[in-house]
Amino acid sequence: MMSHSSEMKIFSGSAHRELARRIAEYVGVPLGDATVDSFPDGETFVKINENVRGRDVFLVQPTSPPTNQNLMELLIMVDAARRASAARITAVIPFFGYARQDRKDQPRVPITAKLIANLLTAAGVDRVLTMDLHAQQVAGFFDIPVDHLQALPVIHRYLAKKNIQDLVVVSPDVGGVKNAGHYAQALGAGLAIVAKRRKSATEIEHLHVIGDVADKDVIIVDDLTETAGTLTSAATILKKHGAKTIYAAVSHAVLSDLAIERFKASEIVELITTNSVPVRVCAGVPLTVLCIAELLGEGIKRIHNDESVSSLFELKGNK
């Protein structure tokens, strides 16, 4: 029996209706009826077409490209739900845009991730459900509860079925070591690191591989790929160090035109990702998209029932 006294309602912005539909299907409620549209001048118009007074409302909207458009739409949906007297509003943000701008790493730059947290709170969000934030501390930028899921259980299930012998998990940079370590532990695999030096937002200059990848199948894991520079240049150096088959797994595939071209020419035989954002499927890019509707749906159910969310998603031994 649902312990949260009010009825659950799930609505979707225009960023990823297909995922919202699948989540609602998994949870067993109809997707809520809302009009989300743009005026000719580009302003967003939102109207919730059903009663949400006293209801437990979940708004599904990854802030993927067009990032600002999707973020603004989410804020306006939150405002609409709040003014319609929703009992509680949870922003379900499978992919959290701007999460990489999480610190002042040079003079006179913003900490945009903190600004986004403030905007969501100001709009009236009561809690956030998200997945694989670029940096864990972004959850702490909010003064409201944040449930932070991992794609690891979903990707692990798929990789375990492949039953790759002698596998090594590779972090494409020093910052991703902890995440790669979780994968290595879950898969009972070795661990290696590619140490990189970044020239610019689109260009990477790789240095060396720490760990043994010779004659091993490897999987490069990361939270996000956008231009694919990190992944494809890591693959090149891994090949030079004698790696056999090279796979890649990322939680969020926000693929640019440049990424598509790079993957087509790369040593990576399969890119495994999730549908946290609408993923571009292109000929020549060996892509496997795993569905996270159950993961998010289970998170939503547990939030609604006032149950623990974290306990559900942690693989044994995974902190």
Alpha helix (H) residue ranges in 90-189: 112-123, 152-162, 177-187
Q: Which position has the token pair 């979707």?
A: 12
Q: How far apart are CA 199 and CA 66, in angstroms?
A: 26
Mean pLDDT of the 16-40 span: 98
Considering the chain, what is the average pLDDT of its residues?
Answer: 93
Q: Record the pTM.
A: 0.94
What is the spatial distance between Cα 8 and Cα 29, in angstroms, rounded to a whole number? Answer: 8
Structure tokens at 38: 């743009």
- Residue 104 annotated to the active site: no
Q: Which long-range contacts (CB under 8 A, 24 or more apart) does 123-127 make?
A: 123/75, 123/78, 123/79, 123/82, 124/78, 124/79, 124/81, 124/82, 124/89, 125/78, 125/89, 125/90, 125/91, 126/88, 126/89, 126/90, 127/88, 127/89, 127/90, 127/91, 127/303
- In single-letter form, the type of residue at position 83 comes to R
- Confidence at residue 202, expressed as pLDDT on a 0 to 100 scale: 73
CA distance 27 to 48: 20
* Number of CB atoms found within 10 A of residue 310's CB: 12
Q: Encode pLDDT of 157-210 as tens digits.
A: 999 999 999 999 999 988 899 999 999 999 999 999 998 777 777 776 667 899
Annotated catalytic residue, options 9, 114, 196, 216: 196
Q: Which domains does the chain have, with CATH numbers?
A: 8-150+293-313 (3.40.50.2020), 152-290 (3.40.50.2020)
Q: What is the pLDDT of residue 315?
A: 59
More confident residue, 5 or 230: 230
- Rg of the chain on CA atoms, in Å: 20
- pLDDT attached to residue 206: 62
In degrees, rounded to 5, the angle at the alpha carbon of residue 200 between the alpha carbons of residues 198 and 205 is: 35
Summarize pLDDT for 239-293 with one digit per residue, the tens: 999 999 999 999 999 999 999 999 999 999 999 999 999 999 888 999 999 999 9
Closest CA to 15 of 91, 69, 58: 69
